[in-house]
Amino acid sequence: MSLNCEKYHQLATLLQQLRDYTTSTELNAPELRLRVASLQQMFLVQIVPLTDEDTQMPHNSREQSYQTEMSKQLRLLELDVMFFQGARQSATAQARLQTISDRLTTLMQYCEAILQQE
């Protein structure tokens, strides 16, 4: 497995773990926020710098497009978590958690699409 594949696989695993956490009974908003911040940091440090060593460019434009979309989704995920923290009613909190779960699923699908290209 190439280094790039390994990095995307690690990201997909973290996304799955975070999605699993959002369905756990011990879920709490501050911990969720920390986990999302950690995920964003991993993306910025491990994924964004991935380049083709010869050209210093991303491997292909499709991968670059996925990275751009993933970056946007991660920023939206951070907002979703803030809205979840601010939810006062159980129904609102549940709706926010569903939105968070859906966004994590989308991010996992982007990882899978990139891994299938490799």
What's the token pair of residue 20?
Answer: 């699993």
Give pLDDT tens digits for 54-93.
444 445 778 889 999 999 999 999 999 999 999 999 999 9
pLDDT at 4: 85
Most confident of 2-6, 20-24, 46-50, 68-72: 68-72
* Host domain of residue 92: 3-117
User: What's the CA gap between 79 and 40, in Å, rounded?
Assistant: 13
Count of domains observed in the chain: 1
> 0.85 exceeded by the pTM?
yes
pLDDT at 1: 55
Give pLDDT tens digits for 32-54.
999 999 999 999 999 988 754 44
- What's 91's domain CATH number? 1.20.120.330
* Closest among 5, 1, 117, 2 to 61, alpha carbons compared: 117
